[in-house]
Amino acid sequence: MVLSKTPTQSSIRNSLQDRVIDVWTLGALVRVKVDCGVILNSLISRQSAEELGIFPGVPVYTQFKASSVHVLR
């Protein structure tokens, strides 16, 4: 999944507008939980999280390729 502050033009066709609801720092990585009607989790670098200003309440766009989706119950 790709997180961004604005929609981006790319080969990725699935784009959802959502809001960050939780953030966990895990060393050099950051786990970001977003809500777009369903809860999605993304793992990004700490540098990316800092550059995007990721924290709870921030609106973001989540983009992903359909072939990359894994559903866990």
pLDDT of residue 11: 67
Burial level of 32, CB count in 10 A (0-12/13-18/19+)? buried
For 11-17, what is the mean pLDDT?
78
Structure-model confidence comparison of residues 73 and 22, the more confident one: 22
Task: Delineate the domains of the chain, giving CATH numbers in brackets.
Answer: 2-67 (2.40.50.100)
Per-residue pLDDT, 52: 93
Say what the pLDDT of residue 72 is: 74
Q: Model confidence over 21-69: pLDDT tens digits?
A: 999 999 999 999 999 998 999 999 999 999 999 999 999 998 887 777 7
